[in-house]
Amino acid sequence: MWVDDWALRAACRTEQPDQLFVRGAEQNKAKQVCAGCPVRTECLAEALDNQIEWGVWGGMTERERRALIRRRPTASWRKVLESARDREIAQVTADA
Q: Quote the distance between the C-alpha of residue 52 and its chain's center.
A: 11
pLDDT of 96 higher than 80: no
Give binding residues for [4Fe-4S] cluster as ranges. Answer: 12, 34, 37, 43
Structure pTM? Answer: 0.86
- Looking at the domain assignment, is residue 1 inside a domain? no
Q: How many helices (H) and strands (E) does the chain have?
A: 4, 0
pLDDT for 46 equals 95
The SS3 assignment for 57 reads strand
What distance in Å separates the CA atoms of residue 77 and residue 48, rounded to the nearest whole number?
A: 6
pLDDT for 89 equals 84
Number of domains in the chain: 1
Q: What is the residue range of 29's domain?
A: 6-95
What distance in Å separates the CA atoms of residue 26 and residue 56, rounded to the nearest whole number?
A: 10
pLDDT in tens, 6-43: 999 999 999 888 888 888 889 999 999 999 999 999 99
What distance in Å separates the CA atoms of residue 61 and residue 27, rounded to the nearest whole number?
A: 7
Give binding residues as ranges. Answer: 12, 34, 37, 43
pLDDT in tens, 53-62: 899 999 999 9
Nearest Cα neighbor of 45 from 22, 15, 76 is 76
Alpha-carbon separation of residue 6 from 1, 12, 66, 90 (angstroms): 11, 11, 22, 22
- Looking at the domain assignment, is residue 79 inside a domain? yes
pLDDT in tens, 46-80: 999 999 989 999 999 999 999 999 999 999 999 99
